[in-house]
């Protein structure tokens, strides 16, 4: 039985990775900061480990002793994605861990360079730490979570105005994978030793923005007026404008992701769904018919400027 430590086990993605690993028969250690809140449901193969990446590698060591694979699904700024994950990697090295899946779970962030997306830059800096590590890196790329892409932070759907906004021509295929499917693929990838040292691309569905709008109109039974916001150059200029006044990266990072999605640099390559035939991804139509239908209603609580987004 493979033993896997999951950091970020209370998060939207991490909690589902824990569930999927247990369903696949793995022995799971869930790293949680507070034992009392949102802890995973009890299971005979699940051990709760209380710890914070900020505690440092010495304190984290006991949690990774005897572990074969570390999966990180933490979220945060440089102190978490670079410094915190580096402490976890150092502890993993000393424990003889074979592989680590860092908290990437993104569009293909290695398809473009530094300076395009602040959150990708953090993940790219952390990836460099594996160059001298005995632990092999397995990076998982999935495109965009619809739970966020169709939520307020991306400014694509505006339920109150009844609009669907597009930068560029909307004709290039983008990659969309639900949080649940990402967790299912990640559990399979974590237990697949052939992924050591690789970037593994898996996807729910690939479709253009114009096709996505058609899916949304079909699922919601209403018309969404197409708003063409400008060219990709206009989008880059809008990001630069926002960066001057932003109180938080949340005010522009979603648009940064859209630049790389719409110019094709973040497109998934060599998609490996066929390696994981027991994962049946959710189509966009199926997502919109169930949980995703929440995107069609205007949010009850207005978001504060710069507030970190939450999935539907």
Point out which residues bind ligand NAP (CB under 6 A): 7-14, 33-34, 38, 52-54, 73-76, 80, 84, 103, 105-106, 144-145, 148
65: helix, strand or coil: coil
Residue 148 or 276: which CB sits closer to ligand NAP?
148
Kindly state the smallest distance separating residue 223's Cβ from ligand NAP, in Å: 26
3-state DSSP helix/strand/coil percent for the chain, to nearest 5? 45, 20, 40
Kindly state the smallest distance separating residue 61's Cβ from ligand NAP, in Å: 15
Kindly state the smallest distance separating residue 8's Cβ from ligand NAP, in Å: 3
Kindly state the smallest distance separating residue 308's Cβ from ligand NAP, in Å: 7
Rounded CA gap, 89 and 100, in Å?
Answer: 8
Residue 39 or 162: which CB sits closer to ligand NAP?
39
Rounded CA gap, 267 and 208, in Å?
Answer: 12
Contacts of 37 (CB under 8 A, 6+ apart): 10
Contacts of 115 (CB under 8 A, 6+ apart): 121
Rounded CA gap, 149 and 107, in Å?
Answer: 12
Kindly state the smallest distance separating residue 14's Cβ from ligand NAP, in Å: 5
Residue 191 or 261: which CB sits closer to ligand NAP?
261
**DSSP code at position 297:** S
Rounded CA gap, 48 and 27, in Å?
Answer: 11
Residue 29 or 221: which CB sits closer to ligand NAP?
29
Residue 26 or 119: which CB sits closer to ligand NAP?
119
239: helix, strand or coil: helix
Kindly state the smallest distance separating residue 108's Cβ from ligand NAP, in Å: 11
Contacts of 172 (CB under 8 A, 6+ apart): 208, 209, 261, 262, 263, 264, 267
Residue 26 or 109: which CB sits closer to ligand NAP?
109
């Amino acid at each position: 039985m493979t033993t896997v430590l999951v950091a970020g086990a209370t998060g939207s993605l991490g909690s589902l990775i824990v569930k999927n690993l247990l369903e696949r028969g793995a022995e799971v250690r869930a790293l949680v900061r507070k034992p009392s809140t949102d802890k995973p449901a009890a299971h005979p193969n699940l051990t709760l480990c209380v710890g914070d990446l900020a505690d440092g590698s010495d304190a984290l060591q006991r949690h990774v002793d005897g572990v074969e694979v570390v999966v990180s699904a933490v979220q945060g700024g440089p102190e978490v994605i670079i410094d915190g994950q580096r402490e976890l990697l150092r502890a993993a090295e000393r424990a003889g861990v074979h592989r680590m899946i860092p908290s990437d779970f993104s569009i293909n962030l290695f398809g473009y360079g530094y300076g395009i997306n602040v959150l990708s830059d953090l993940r790219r800096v952390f990836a460099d730490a594996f160059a001298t590590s005995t632990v092999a890196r397995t990076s998982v790329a999935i495109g965009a979570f619809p739970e966020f892409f169709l939520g307020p932070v991306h400014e694509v759907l505006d339920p109150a105005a009844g609009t669907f906004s597009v930068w560029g021509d909307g004709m290039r295929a983008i990659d969309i994978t639900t949080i649940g499917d990402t967790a299912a693929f990640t559990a399979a990838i974590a237990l697949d030793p052939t992924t050591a040292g690789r970037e593994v691309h898996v996807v729910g569905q690939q479709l253009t923005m114009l096709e996505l709008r058609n899916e949304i109109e079909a699922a919601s039974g209403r018309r969404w007026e197409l708003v063409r916001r400008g060219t990709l150059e206009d989008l880059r200029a809008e990001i630069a404008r926002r960066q001057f006044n932003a109180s938080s990266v949340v005010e522009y990072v979603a648009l940064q992701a859209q630049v790389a999605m719409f110019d094709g640099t973040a497109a998934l390559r060599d998609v490996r769904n066929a390696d994981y035939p027991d994962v049946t991804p959710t189509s966009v139509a199926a997502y919109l018919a169930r949980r995703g239908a929440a995107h069609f209603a205007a949010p009850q609580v207005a978001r504060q400027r710069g507030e970190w987004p939450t999935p539907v």
